[in-house]
């Protein structure tokens, strides 16, 4: 069985789907691992490291794609590359099926068995496969460093002969994996941190990291999906939320926003009126920029200055730590492949909820319950 890796071609993408160490583990299990030339170069994994692991390096992408039994990527390959795969080949990558119905139709037409790394259910048994959590943790960390770099103040309290500088105040909106990592990193840098999330269940986690949890009374008690994500709020609850956030944005030096709703644009948490009321020199880092942004004024891929407030809309934060991001992603991949492959053969066991929920298409059919229910 040939497991293939191609060089990522998406803009701003520096990760690779398989590290040399992960390749070595697959080869020891009897698989052939084929790597497109320089696929890992941007992640600081040169071809020589893959060759030392026993992988085969190819300079012909067409040969690699037409031979592959399983293709592992980070981003979804181009339509042209997908058409080069043989019938019944397996594709494992981030697919974002709800946002890409045309892609799903193409995968059906080509009879590609596609597994979405973004569709792995958030259950305890799947934690070592959860690429979204792995990448979100990196995003929260990197966003904090960007905020510290853009802010023209100290993060920690500084006591000097000239006087004492108070610590910066950081507000984290959304306390999922990215938000919790942002809280931890801002705290380590010395900021005073408070955090908001519509899910009361995360209060204990926020406080365990040394941050203050901001609470708002909502009319809807159930604010979390089965997958652990925040639900979209009613219009009344959105108004309550914005009023509370507005009070806290006025006194914040740094705001990091992380709120996402699967399959929908990111919710607007910071309005232009809130930005107008913020202190000059404050910084907003909007992790949700690629999904429309949590700040009304965010521009994806740009840093804007609005009345002295810097609004940063970063693209693909995990890719900015490409080496570690690729290492973690490869480990997530290995864990999923260990479940999918039994005794050297592919085993699409749809009685297993991980395989069922992760498989988007198989043999020309849509499998994902998430897609079937939409």
Pairing of strands 158-160, 163-165: antiparallel
How many angstroms separate the Cα of 251 from the Cα of each of 84, 167, 180, 193, 278? 55, 12, 21, 12, 7
Burial (0-12, 13-18, 19+ Cβ within 10 Å), 8:
buried
Query: Residues 75, 113, 133, 136: which is the catalytic one?
Result: 133
Query: Residues 78, 127, 208, 247: which is the catalytic one?
Result: 127
Which residue, chain included where needed, has tokens 């966003």? 143
Is 229 designated active site?
A: yes
Kindly report the number of other CB atoms within 10 A of residue 56's CB atom.
14
8 Å CB contact between 371 and 104: yes
Q: What does the block give as tokens for 192?
A: 């005073």
Is 236 designated active site?
A: no
Coarse DSSP helix, strand, coil percentages of the chain, rounded to the nearest 5 percent: 40, 20, 40
Give the SS3 label for residue 364: coil
Residues 244, 217: Cα–Cα separation, whole Å: 10
Backbone angles phi, psi at 321, to 5 degrees: -120, 60
Alpha helices in the chain (DSSP H): 20-28, 47-53, 61-67, 79-84, 101-109, 131-150, 177-188, 203-208, 235-249, 272-277, 322-340, 353-358, 369-372
Is 122 designated active site?
A: yes
Instruction: Let me know how many helices (H) and strands (E) the chain has, helices first.
Output: 13, 19
- For residue 32, give every residue at least 6 positions away whose Cβ sits within 8 Å of its Cβ, in sequence order, or none: 1, 2, 3, 56
Residues 127, 335: Cα–Cα separation, whole Å: 9
Query: Residues 15, 47, 84, 130: which is the catalytic one?
Result: 130
8 Å CB contact between 300 and 294: no
Is 50 designated active site?
A: no
Query: Residues 50, 141, 229, 329: which is the catalytic one?
Result: 229
Query: Residues 69, 118, 122, 277: which is the catalytic one?
Result: 122
Is 152 designated active site?
A: no
8 Å CB contact between 44 and 323: yes
Residues 352, 24: Cα–Cα separation, whole Å: 27
- Catalytic residue positions, numbered: 122, 127, 130, 133, 229
């Amino acid at each position: 069985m040939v497991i293939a890796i191609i060089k990522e071609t998406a803009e701003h993408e520096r990760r690779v789907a398989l590290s040399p160490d992960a390749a070595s583990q697959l080869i020891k299990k009897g698989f052939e691992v084929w790597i497109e030339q320089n696929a890992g170069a941007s992640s600081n994994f040169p071809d020589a490291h893959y060759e030392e692991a026993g992988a085969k390096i190819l300079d012909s992408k067409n040969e690699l794609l037409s031979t592959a039994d399983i293709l592992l990527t980070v981003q979804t390959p181009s339509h042209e590359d997908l058409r080069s795969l043989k019938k019944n080949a397996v594709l494992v990558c981030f697919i974002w099926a709800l946002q890409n119905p045309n892609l799903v139709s193409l995968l059906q037409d080509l009879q590609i068995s596609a597994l979405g790394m973004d569709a792995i259910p958030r259950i305890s048994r799947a934690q070592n496969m959860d690429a979204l959590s792995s990448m979100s943790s990196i995003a929260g960390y990197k966003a904090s460093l960007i905020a510290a770099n853009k802010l023209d103040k100290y993060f920690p309290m500084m006591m000097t002969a000239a006087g004492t500088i108070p610590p910066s105040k950081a507000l984290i909106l959304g306390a999922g994996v990215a938000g919790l990592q942002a809280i931890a990193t801002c705290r380590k840098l010395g900021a005073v941190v408070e955090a908001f999330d519509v899910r009361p269940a995360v209060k204990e986690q926020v406080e365990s990291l040394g941050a203050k949890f901001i609470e708002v009374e909502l009319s809807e008690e159930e604010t979390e999906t089965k997958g652990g994500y925040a639900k979209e709020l009613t219009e009344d609850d959105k108004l309550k939320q914005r009023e509370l956030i507005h009070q806290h944005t006025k006194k914040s030096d740094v705001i990091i926003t992380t709120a996402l709703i699967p399959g929908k644009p990111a919710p607007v948490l910071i309005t232009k009126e809130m930005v107008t009321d913020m202190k000059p020199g404050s910084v907003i880092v909007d992790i949700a920029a690629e999904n429309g942004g949590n700040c009304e004024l965010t521009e994806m891929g740009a840093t804007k200055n609005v009345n002295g407030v810097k609004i940063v809309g970063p693209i693909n934060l995990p890719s900015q730590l490409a080496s570690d991001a690729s290492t973690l992603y490869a480990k997530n991949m290995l864990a999923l492949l260990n479940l999918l492959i039994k005794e050297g053969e592919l085993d699409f066991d749809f009685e297993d909820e991980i395989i069922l929920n992760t498989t988007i298409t198989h043999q020309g059919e849509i499998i994902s319950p998430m897609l079937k229910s939409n």
